[in-house]
Amino acid sequence: MNENMQASFSILVMSIASSAAMSLGLAPNPQTNKVEKDRDMAKFNIDLLLILQEKTMKNLTDDESKFLDSVVADLQSKFLELK
């Protein structure tokens, strides 16, 4: 692991969001390098972010809250467009 890499709230959010994006077919799976859609897994990852949003309410900085809100809204929008 990179010594300069530090765990943070935004990295946690992006990690879950990246999994959701892959499941939505927005990014290739790094293991197979193929774009795959998995509606159930996308919903699961979005639900994880919603739980995180609920459980951290009023405990985040304004920037963290805006970031999480933006990521969730974007993924929910993409989920609704999923065919």
Sign of the C-alpha dihedral computed for residues 27, 63, 69 and 57 taken in this order: positive
Token pair for 23: 């499941």
pLDDT confidence bin for 68, thresholds 50/70/90: very high
pLDDT confidence bin for 73, thresholds 50/70/90: very high
Contact between 53 and 64 under an 8 Å Cβ cutoff? The reply is: no
pLDDT digits (tens, 9 = 90+) for 7-54: 899 999 999 999 999 999 999 888 899 999 999 999 999 999 999 999
Contact between 36 and 29 under an 8 Å Cβ cutoff? The reply is: yes
Q: Is the pLDDT of residue 5 over 90?
A: no
Q: How far apart are CA 72 and CA 48, in angstroms?
A: 10
Token pair for 65: 């809250």
